[in-house]
C-alpha cells in the first residue's frame, strides 16, 4: 500500500486523487486550504481510501505536524508553482518522494539544488509540458546515431473557440502567464541559449488543421541541459489557433501587462471562459542520421475529454494528471532506482505507456 499526500484539490489535484485512489494499492490524503471541494469530490465520486485534510503550505509547521501524525511515502504538489519550494523542503525534512507540475524554470532550479544527495526522488515538471513531452522526445532521440533537430509542440485548445483569443482557460492562469512572459531556453548550433517568449513564430498543420506555434517558457523541461552539445537545434513551442499570439503580444508587450501580472490575471479570468470541451495536441519531431541516411521520426497524439468515475474531465486535466500518476507509480514501484533530482527524460517511454495510468497516451 502506497500512501500519498496530494496538496491542492483543484483542477489537477482532484483528478490525481481520483485516479490513484481507484487502485487498491494507494491510500490518499487530499489537502487543501478549503475542504469544500475535496469533500464534494469524495462524496460525488464515492471515492474510497481518500482522506480530506485542512492544510495550508503557507504554514509549513501545520503541514509538518500532519505528516508526523500521518506518515506517507510521497508528496504531490498540485499547487501554484511558487508554493513548490516550501513543499519540497517539507518532503526533504520528512524523507519523502516529491512530485510537482511546475513549469517555472527558477523553481525547478531551486528543487535541483535542494534535493542534491537526497535518498528519495525529487521529480518536478511531471505534467504534460514539461513532463510527458520530454519522455517522448527523449525516446525518439535514442533511435538516432546523430541528432540534428528536435521539435516539441503542445497545445490545449477549446474544441469550439468563441472569442477573439480563440482560447479558454483550461489551465492555471498563473502558469499560463508565466509561460507567456518568462524567458525560454533552447539549443541552437549545439549550445543552450535563451529565447524570448512569444517569438519564434511558425505555423504547423496537423490532421489538415492549421495551428500557430511560438516560444513559451518551461515546456522544454531539463532537455536543453541534458542534450546540449549532442543536438544542433532543439526547441519547445506552444500550439494555438492562428491569431492568438498576436493578441497576447498586444496584451503583454504593447500594453505592458507582463509588468502588471495581477491585472492581466484579473482581465483573463473575467473575460476568458473555462471549458471542459477541449483537445490536447502533442507533437514531437526528431531528425538525424540513422541507418546511413537522414531520417525523421514523429509522435503525434490528440486527446479529448474523458469521463472518469462518472464525471467529465477536460483533456488537459486527463493528460496532466495521468502523466503525474504514471511517473509517481513507476517511482514508488521501484524506489531504490530513483534518488535526488530526477528528470522526466529518466523515465522510459516503454515503461510509461505500459503503466495503467499512461493509457491515454497510447
What is the CA angle 273-236-318, rounded to 5? 45
Is the pTM value of this prediction over 0.85? yes
ω before 130 within 30° of 0 (cis)?
Answer: yes
CB neighbour list of residue 331: distance below 8 Å, 6 or more residues apart: 74, 97, 99, 121, 123, 337, 338, 342
Q: Quick one: cell of 181?
A: 512572459
Tens digit of pLDDT at every position of the chain (362 positions): 999 999 999 999 999 999 999 988 999 999 999 999 999 999 999 999 999 999 999 999 999 999 999 999 999 999 999 999 999 999 999 999 999 999 999 999 999 999 999 999 999 999 999 999 999 999 999 999 999 999 999 999 999 999 999 999 988 899 999 999 999 999 999 999 999 999 999 999 998 999 999 999 999 999 999 999 999 999 999 999 999 999 999 999 999 999 999 999 999 999 999 999 999 999 999 999 999 999 999 999 999 999 999 999 999 999 999 999 999 999 999 999 999 999 999 999 999 999 999 999 99
Residue 89 three-state SS:
helix
Residue 136: phi and psi, rounded to 5, are -65, -50
For 1, counting Cβ atoms within 10 Å of its Cβ (0-12 exposed, 13-18 middle, 19+ buried), the class is exposed
Instruction: Please report which helix (H) or strand (E) contains residue 29, including its range.
Output: strand 26-32
All domains of the chain, ordered by start, with CATH? 2-124 (3.40.50.720), 132-311 (3.30.360.10)
DSSP line for 214-261: EE-SSTTTTHHHHHTTT-SEEEEEEEE-TTHHHHHHIIIIIS-GGG-H
- Of how many residues is the chain composed? 362
Calculate the dihedral angle through the C-alpha atoms of 271, 276, 279, 281, rounding to the nearest 10 degrees: 80
CA distance 188 to 94: 41
Q: How many degrees, rounded to 5, is the angle at CA 316 between CA 48 and CA 312?
A: 50
Q: Are strands 202-206 and 191-195 parallel, antiparallel or unpaired?
A: unpaired
Q: Which residues 6+ apart lie within 8 Å of 199 measured at CB?
A: 214, 215
Amino acid at each position: 500500500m502506497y500512501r500519498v499526500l496530494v496538496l491542492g484539490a483543484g483542477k489537477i489535484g482532484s483528478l490525481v486523487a481520483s485516479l490513484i485512489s481507484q487502485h487498491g494499492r494507494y491510500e490518499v490524503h487530499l489537502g487543501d486550504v478549503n475542504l469544500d471541494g475535496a469533500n464534494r469530490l469524495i462524496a460525488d465520486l464515492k471515492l474510497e481510501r481518500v482522506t480530506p485534510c485542512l492544510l495550508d503550505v503557507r504554514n509549513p509547521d501545520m503541514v509538518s505536524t500532519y505528516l508526523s501524525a500521518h506518515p506517507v511515502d510521497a508528496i504531490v504538489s498540485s499547487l501554484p508553482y511558487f508554493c513548490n519550494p516550501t513543499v519540497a523542503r517539507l518532503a526533504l525534512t520528512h524523507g519523502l518522494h516529491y512530485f510537482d507540475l511546475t513549469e517555472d524554470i527558477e523553481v525547478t532550479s531551486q528543487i535541483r539544488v535542494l534535493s542534491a544527495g537526497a535518498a528519495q526522488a525529487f521529480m518536478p515538471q511531471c505534467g504534460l509540458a514539461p513532463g510527458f513531452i520530454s519522455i517522448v522526445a527523449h525516446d525518439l532521440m535514442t533511435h538516432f546515431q546523430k541528432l540534428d533537430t528536435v521539435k516539441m509542440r503542445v497545445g490545449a485548445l477549446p474544441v469550439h473557440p468563441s472569442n477573439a483569443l480563440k482560447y479558454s482557460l483550461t489551465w492555471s492562469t498563473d502558469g499560463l502567464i508565466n509561460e507567456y512572459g518568462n524567458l525560454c531556453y533552447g539549443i541552437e548550433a549545439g549550445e543552450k541559449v535563451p529565447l524570448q517568449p512569444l517569438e519564434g513564430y511558425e505555423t504547423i498543420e496537423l490532421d489538415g488543421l492549421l495551428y500557430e506555434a511560438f516560444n513559451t517558457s518551461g515546456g522544454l523541461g531539463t532537455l536543453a541541459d541534458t542534450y546540449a552539445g549532442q543536438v544542433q537545434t532543439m526547441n519547445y513551442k506552444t500550439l494555438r489557433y492562428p491569431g492568438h499570439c498576436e493578441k497576447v503580444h498586444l496584451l503583454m508587450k504593447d500594453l505592458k501587462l507582463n509588468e502588471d501580472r495581477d491585472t492581466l490575471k484579473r482581465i483573463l479570468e473575467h473575460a476568458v471562459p473555462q471549458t471542459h470541451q477541449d483537445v490536447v495536441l502533442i507533437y514531437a519531431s526528431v531528425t538525424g542520421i540513422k541507418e546511413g541516411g537522414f531520417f525523421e521520426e514523429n509522435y503525434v497524439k490528440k486527446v479529448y475529454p474523458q469521463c472518469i468515475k462518472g464525471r467529465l474531465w477536460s483533456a488537459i486535466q486527463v493528460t496532466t494528471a495521468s502523466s503525474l500518476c504514471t511517473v509517481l507509480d513507476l517511482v514508488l514501484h521501484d524506489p531504490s532506482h530513483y534518488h535526488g533530482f530526477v528528470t522526466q527524460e529518466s523515465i522510459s517511454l516503454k515503461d510509461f505507456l505500459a503503466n495503467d495510468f499512461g493509457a491515454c497516451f497510447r
